[in-house]
Amino acid sequence: DTAVSQTPKYLVTQMGNDKSIKCEQNLGHDTMYWYKQDSKKFLKIMFSYNNKELIINETVPNRFSPKSPDKAHLNLHINSLELGDSAVYFCASSKASGRTQETQYFGPGTRLLVL
């Protein structure tokens, strides 16, 4: 019973390629997130979606485009991959409940290596 799943788990690709990472949650949550963990293991938010609408977009190059076909899915498409995009990308979800927040649940991560 995977709560938050991501595919693929590993992704090795050449510079300049376009790739997508998929995320699905079966928790019935309203809010989904993409985080990036760099080589120094520092986790930072990239995007946040609530009910399929973008609510947070941190300073992320526009080569990164999140897409939410429904509130259970938040996919991440990356154009023209660069060496610096190599990182672990985590998807997460939480229940939207106004001021009080439930726990954020994280996927297992997608390890992207750009050569």
Catalog residues that contact other proteins under the rule CB under 8 A: 31, 33, 35, 40-45, 48, 50, 56, 58, 90, 92, 94, 96-109, 111
Which residues on neighbouring strands pair with residue 53, listed in sequence order?
Answer: 50
Quote the least distance from Cβ 26 to other proteins, whole Å.
16
Q: Looking at beta carbons only, is 15 or 52 nearer to other proteins?
A: 52
Nearer to other proteins by Cβ, of 40 and 69: the residue is 40
